[in-house]
DNA sequence: CGCTTTTGACCCGCGC
DNA sequence: GCGCGGGTCAAAAGCG
């Protein structure tokens, strides 16, 4: 009772602040629906029709003009047809690639089956690090090794399982509601999956976990919490973001209120506790602490799910963290049949550097290197951890220039079921390298027992064109391919002139989304239907959308408003049909609202304390040179109703304090 | 005046 | 059971 009253008091305060800020902000994001503009300027058809109509009644008008008109129209039509042809070719390539990958996968699976035991032994002999990595927290004692061997077998199985998931598209959508719940468990209170179970106010309310008295009442409420509790009865997943930041907190776009500060053991820097004040009863909290080893690194740990619409400027981080959390959770769930062991395909992790493209990524497993190098990411399940039963934590490492890395401002993705600060040795880390100069995906093996694993692709990517270049999702790394923009793959970016090849997300996602369709029929499907399926896939899966959004926003960071706007127009024009179909949960106008969110945050004069720009804007120079990839997907699908659009620079004012 | 931050106290879980 | 440490509370202080 005490707690409740106290909280409501805080919430009341937060609400006031929120509303004040919102009123400030409302104007900024209304430029989102660029789609409408596009529609207005779009159709060549109108020209055609107009010309024909004009020609009819005005038969007496100079025929020359008519001819010119017709010629013009023909030219335009020709362009459209060309574009169409290009698209068809692209789709054909995608399909071919898919088939190739499928064949590779089948071969791999067969080989795996045959060689699994031998492989196991080899792996164990080759790399103790890997073993310790796989288990993360197991110390390097003989006993641990024995158990590690067992675990590795399980991992093998998981690996196969994962591959099967990936390529056979065995999506668990029908499994006891698991998929939707895995998904942005964090911020996607999908109306279908949870709302009836939970009074809204209580949704997601698991804080404070320590208050057992309240916990009993609270815990039963949120569906997401149910999911979590299934996998992790006591603790919610956490997403830890490491970023270089010289400001006190990370500017993630949300409004936070500090409610406590503590000196934690092993770190001279105090840990600050914040709770989200954007909405009443928002259960999200974060902890902010400087890294003891490197004071310039700010470690921000998010926990919980926003139960309210977020300012656009906050969606990037929210999406990222929620997707990461869902990735973590879904990873955990994957291992439900093998308690204590979680496997996440490294491609998955790699591609989800910016969060939860997990499903699409799960289908990117045809990468032969996966099988060669055991690119699976193993997490120990917290419930099995005798130590501290800490929160499952996934760490998104946005610190640029790790000492050992030549580049990579981007992602190191660390998944960790222990509190890093508390149990550093148990932390496992997936290190992403940026596209700038190094495409290697490496499992960094740091001092803390991070495991190091290099899965560097063998071929150079043409990443300059790819907004997601740092999130390489190439299903076939051995094949040279141009790493095309995810969105251009679905032809949202017709502006780009050079041919592009990358089908990564698209194809993988297609695989996933058509999981219910027999593969053969997929293969036989026409390109047009493939496009439709892709569209459907994107529209149908909020997690993918949010993942896209998060990925893009995280990577793009800031971009000039005008540039993005115009780009958005181009996209719109080129992808009208796609855009039309995409609007189920996310309007393209919102999707491509790029400029209003992070850029707003970074450009707003009010951004004072946060350092969002320091990491979210870390778009490599490549990003600034990109011509067609500048849109940010912003809409936080997770939140009920697409009405958000209330974020503005003003929202950034005190977002971090 | 209202909201946020500070900070010591308190609660709770865990390990010994 | 006790101590430790993380996390939270809540009164007081600070701030705009």
DSSP assignments along A166-209, one per residue: HHS---GGGSTTHHHHHTTTTT---TTTTTTTS-GGGTT----T
CA of A312 to C1' of C7 (A): 30
Split at pLDDT 50, 70, 90, the class of A330 is low
Q: Domain A238-328 adopts which CATH fold?
A: N-terminal domain of TfIIb (2.20.25)
pLDDT band for A414, please (50, 70, 90 cuts): very low
Is residue A509 within 8 Å of A543, Cβ to Cβ?
Answer: no
Banded pLDDT at A393 (limits 50, 70, 90)? confident
- CB A3 within 7 Å, strand C: yes
Region A440-444: mean pLDDT is 32
A270 touches strand C (CB under 7 A): no
Helices (H), A127-141: 128-135
- Nearest nucleic acid nucleotide to A13, CA to C1' distance: B3
The answer on pLDDT for A301 being more than 80 is yes
Provide the pLDDT for residue A329.
67
Reported in sequence order, the residue ranges of A203-284 that DSSP labels E, i.e. its strands, are 238-244, 256-263, 270-276
Mean pLDDT for A36-50 is 37
Spatial distance between the Cα atoms of A380 and A342, rounded to a whole number of angstroms: 6
Nucleotide nearest to A287 (CA to C1'): C7
DSSP secondary structure code for residue A567 in this structure: H
Q: How high is the pLDDT of residue A390?
A: 59
pLDDT band at A331 (very low <50, low <70, confident <90, very high): low
Question: What is the nearest nucleotide to A258, using C1' and CA?
Answer: B5
State pLDDT tens for residues A232-250: 344 577 888 888 877 777 7
**A14 CA: nearest nucleotide by C1':** B3
Is A195 (CB) below 7 Å from strand B?
A: no
Average pLDDT over residues A595-602: 35
**Which residue lies nearest C7, CA-to-C1' measured?**
A210
Residues 364-423 of A with CB under 7 A from strand B: 386-389
Protein CB footprint (7 Å) on chain C nucleotides? 4-10
- For A181-202, the pLDDT digits (tens) are 333 333 333 333 333 333 333 3
Residue nearest to nucleotide C10 (CA to C1'): A6
Between the CA of A636 and the C1' of C12, what is the distance in angstroms? 39
- Proximity of residue A125 CB to strand C below 7 A: no
pLDDT value at position A498?
38
Report pLDDT digits (tens) over A157-170. 443 333 333 333 33
Compute φ and ψ for A93, nearest 5 degrees.
-60, -40
pLDDT value of residue A167:
31
User: In the predicted model, is pLDDT for residue A276 greater than 80?
Assistant: yes
A211 in contact with nucleic chain C (CB within 7 A):
yes
Least confident among A69-78, A83-92, A243-252, A427-436 = A427-436
Residue A462 Cβ < 7 Å to strand B: no
Q: CB < 7 Å to strand C — which of 406-435 in chain A?
A: 419, 421-422
CA angle, residues A639, A22, A192, in degrees to nearest 5: 10
């Amino acid at each position: 009772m005490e707690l409740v009253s106290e909280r409501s008091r805080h919430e009341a305060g937060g609400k006031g602040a929120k509303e004040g800020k919102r009123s400030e902000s409302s104007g900024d994001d209304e430029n989102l629906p660029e789609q409408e503009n596009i529609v207005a300027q779009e159709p060549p058809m109108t020209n055609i029709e107009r010309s024909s109509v004009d020609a009819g009644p005005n038969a007496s008008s100079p025929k020359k003009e008519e001819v010119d008109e017709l010629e013009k129209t023909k030219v335009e039509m020709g362009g459209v047809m060309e574009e169409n042809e290009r698209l068809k070719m692209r789709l054909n390539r995608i399909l071919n690639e898919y088939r190739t990958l499928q064949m590779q996968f089948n071969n791999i699976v067969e080989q795996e089956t045959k060689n699994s035991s031998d492989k196991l032994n080899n792996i164990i002999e080759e790399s103790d690090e890997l073993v310790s990595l796989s288990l993360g927290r197991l110390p390097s004692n003989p006993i641990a090794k024995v158990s590690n061997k067992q675990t590795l077998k399980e991992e093998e199985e998981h690996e196969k399982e994962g591959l099967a998931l990936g390529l056979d598209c065995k999506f668990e959508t029908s499994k006891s509601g698991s998929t939707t719940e895995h998904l942005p468990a964090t911020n996607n209170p999908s109306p279908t999956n949870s709302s009836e179970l939970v009074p809204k106010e209580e949704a997601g309310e698991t804080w404070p976990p320590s208050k057992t008295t309240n916990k009993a009442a609270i815990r039963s409420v949120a569906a997401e919490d149910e999911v979590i509790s299934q996998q992790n009865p006591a603790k919610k997943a956490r997403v830890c973001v490491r970023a270089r930041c010289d400001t006190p907190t990370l500017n993630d776009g949300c409004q936070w209120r500090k409610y406590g500060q503590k000196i934690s053991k092993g770190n001279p820097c105090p840990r600050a506790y914040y709770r989200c004040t954007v909405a009443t009863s928002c259960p999200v909290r974060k902890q902010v602490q400087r890294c003891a080893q490197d004071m310039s690194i700010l470690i921000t740990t998010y926990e919980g799910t926003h139960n309210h619409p977020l300012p656009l400027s906050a969606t990037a981080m929210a999406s990222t963290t929620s997707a990461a959390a869902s990735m973590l959770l879904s990873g955990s769930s994957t291992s439900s049949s093998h308690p204590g062991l979680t496997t996440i395909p490294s491609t998955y992790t790699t591609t989800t550097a910016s969060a939860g493209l997990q499903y699409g990524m799960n289908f990117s497993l045809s990468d032969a290197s996966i099988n060669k190098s055991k690119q699976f990411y193993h997490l120990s399940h917290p419930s099995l951890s005798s130590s501290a039963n800490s929160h499952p934590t996934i760490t998104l490492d946005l610190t640029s220039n790790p000492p050992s890395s030549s580049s990579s401002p981007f992602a190191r993705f660390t998944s960790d079921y222990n509190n890093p600060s508390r149990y550093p040795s148990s932390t496992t880390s997936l290190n992403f390298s940026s596209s700038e100069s190094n495409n290697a995906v490496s499992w960094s093996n740091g001092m803390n027992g991070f495991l190091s694993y290099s899965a560097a692709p063998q071929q150079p990517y043409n990443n300059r064109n790819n907004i997601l270049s740092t999130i390489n999702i190439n299903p076939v790394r051995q094949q040279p391919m141009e790493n095309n923009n995810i969105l251009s793959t679905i032809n949202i970016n017709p502006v780009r002139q050079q041919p592009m090849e990358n089908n990564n997300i698209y194809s993988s996602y297609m695989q996933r989304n058509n999981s219910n369709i027999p593969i053969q029929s997929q293969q036989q499907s026409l390109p047009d239907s493939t496009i439709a399926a892709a569209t459907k896939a994107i529209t149908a899966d909020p997690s993918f959308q949010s993942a896209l959004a998060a990925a893009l926003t995280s990577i793009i960071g800031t971009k000039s408003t005008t540039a993005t706007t115009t780009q958005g127009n181009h996209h719109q024009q080129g992808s009208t049909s796609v855009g039309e179909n995409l609007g189920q949960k996310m309007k393209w106008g919102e999707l491509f609202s790029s400029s209003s969110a992070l850029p707003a945050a970074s450009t707003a004069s009010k951004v004072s304390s946060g350092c969002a720009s320091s990491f979210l804007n870390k778009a490599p120079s490549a990003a600034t040179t990109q011509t067609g990839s500048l849109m940010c997907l912003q809409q936080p699908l997770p939140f009920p109703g697409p009405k958000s659009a209330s974020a503005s620079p003003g929202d950034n004012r005190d977002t971090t304090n």
